[in-house]
Homo-oligomer: A and B are copies of this chain.
Amino acid sequence: MASKEQIKNLKYVFEPRSIALFGASPTPNKVSNVILKTLIEGGFPGKLYPINPKYQEIVGLKCYPDLNTIKKQIDCAIIATPAATVPEILKQCAVWKVRGVVLITAGFSEAGEEGKKLEDEIRDICNKNNISLIGPNCLGVHNPATRIDSIFLPIYKLQRPKPGNIAFITQSGAIGSTIVDLAAYNGIGISKFVSYGNAAVIDEVDLLEYLENDPKTKTIVAYIEGAKNGRRLYEAMKRINKKKPIIALKAGKFARSGEAAKSHTGNIAGSYLAYKAAFKQAKVVEADSIEDLFDFMKIFSQPMPKGNRVAIVTNGGGMGVLTADAVELNELQFANFSEETKVGLKKILPDFGNVGNPLDLIAEADADKYASALDFFMQDDNVDVILVIALLQTPPMDERVLNVLIRVSDERKKPIAVISLGGEYTENYQRHLNMYDVPSYSSPNAAVRTMKKLIEYANYRRGL
């Protein structure tokens, strides 16, 4: 648990004007080399100070032996030196009033007694000097808007997302980095990414409190193995979730997997039942899996639905049937279309077509038919949410259908989610939709499960 001052000082981590990189190295693929190259390639616009007494210059930048030689106040230090050297570096940071620190290095509390002592020591230094430290044993921070990026995985292997409004905090670097990669690949924007590892100073609750007041963040996603203080986490989640939806995945749910979590970041996983109850009471959106997490985070770009009456439109009968199965399984309601809607829809169907829900436009449907159907759904007071199955492989489907979906989503009358499934051609179009904040899913189940979460959250917010 950090002080208010330390939480405030997180701005030096997320929006640094200058960064010192301790342990900078010219050796390709070394952690600190990847970080330096990523900052440069990612276009970090501030000043960069590689620090390593062994070198004069690294990848074209002047290299310094220490902060004393730079003689300037620097906003943020990224540290990737061996664990034993860290206390001395932090003391230097204290002297030069560095307020933000990202400590990448492993070998602290997760590595046994010795490491635990070292971790206590760095906590003391940070708390006494109002240093806001992320880590240790982590990937650190990425903010696509300010281009700070301490993820030590090269861009050619792990893509970086565009600026967006979803913040993602994670105890696990691996989970975090894969979500970043997936988000980037799928066209989803991120406001802040934090892999906080052992949480020696700044913990998950401190981060939640910072994000609570971060104007760039609208949705908060959290991967948690074991919180330092369960009660405090619950209170914070309960408060913040009333303003911004929180999606949480608890890992280490069982005895055995909890052990694995402990040796991972040195935190006790704690009783899953207690977490589950806390999530439920705080109305936090619980994700059961990493795919849930990724599915759910996209949907909150949509307006809040007024109810649970679903309208489905499809150009493939089988996908309509599977989606109807998912609607029943998830106990949502099928919308009963108004007479006006029925009359209107009848006109766009082939002679032998029925106005059903799912509405099957059959494989001859083009963008115009989708536009008509969606406009009827949007106007019909009996419809609360819309699921659009758009199989893009049929001959009449083309890029125009994307424009229809984006236009309808932009009107922000009712939430929509799009279901399409296929290979390269389809995936490109799905990314295109995500880029315009139209949530796109590869399966009926995923889309319906996700829509249900949005409906539940909307009900909660309406009841407040």
A225/B153 contact (C-beta < 8 A), A253-B328, A396-B29, A423-B184 known: no
The answer on a CB contact under 8 Å between A356 and B321 is: no
CB <8 Å contact, B317 and A174: yes
- Interface residue? A68 (CB, 8 A): no
Flag whether A140 is at the interface (Cβ < 8 A).
no
Q: What's the number of copies of this chain in the assembled complex? A: 2
Complex Cα–Cα for A320 and B253 (A):
12
Report yes or no: B316 in contact with A175, Cβ–Cβ below 8 A: yes
Residues from chain B with a CB closer than 8 A to the CB of A21 are none
* Chain B minimum-CB-distance residue to A161: B423
A185 with B444: CB separation less than 8 A: no
Q: Does B393 lie within 8 Å of A157, measured CB to CB?
A: yes
When distances are taken between beta carbons in the complex, the residues of chain B under 8 Å from A257 are 321-322, 324-325, 327-328
| CB-based contact B174/A319 at 8 Å | yes
User: For residue A290, which residues in chain B have a CB less than 8 angstroms away from its CB?
Assistant: 322, 421, 443-445
Task: Please tell me if A260 contacts chain B, counting CB pairs below 8 Å.
Answer: yes
Contact of A264 among B223, B289, B317 (CB under 8 A): B317
| A42 within 8 Å of B (CB atoms) | no
| Contact A175 B34, beta carbon cutoff 8 Å | no
Residues in B whose Cβ lies below 8 Å from that of A327 = 256-257
Which residue from chain B places its CB closest to the CB of A423 in the assembled complex? B185
A356 touches B259 (CB 8 A): yes
Residue in B176, B184, B252, B288 whose CB lies within 8 Å of A321: B252
A392→B363 CA distance, assembly (Å): 39
Contact of A260 among B152, B291, B320, B329 (CB under 8 A): B320
Partner of A172, one of B185, B264, B321: B321
Please give me the residue from chain B that is nearest to A183 by CB atom.
Answer: B423
* Cα–Cα distance between A34 and B422 once the two chains are bound (Å): 18
Q: Is A185 within 8 A of B422, CB to CB?
A: yes
**A315 surroundings in chain B (CB, below 8 A):** 174
* Complex contact A261–B181 (CB within 8 A): no
- State A171–B318 Cα separation when bound (angstroms): 8
A394-B324 contact given A171-B318, A181-B426, A363-B174, CB 8 Å threshold: no
Could you tell me if B318 and A225 are in contact, using CB atoms closer than 8 angstroms? yes
Smallest CB separation, A365 vs chain B (Å): 12
| Residue A337 lies at the interface, judged by CB distance under 8 Å to chain B | no
Q: A163 an interface residue at 8 Å Cβ cutoff?
A: no
Please give me the 6 A-B residue pairs with the lowest Cβ-Cβ distance, nearest first: A172-B318, A174-B316, A185-B423, A257-B324, A264-B317, A175-B318
Taking A174-B317, A261-B317 as known contacts, 15 extra A-B pairs with beta carbons closer than 8 A to each other, sorted by chain A number, are A34-B395, A158-B423, A171-B318, A174-B319, A174-B363, A175-B319, A181-B421, A182-B421, A185-B424, A223-B318, A225-B318, A252-B324, A260-B321, A263-B317, A264-B317
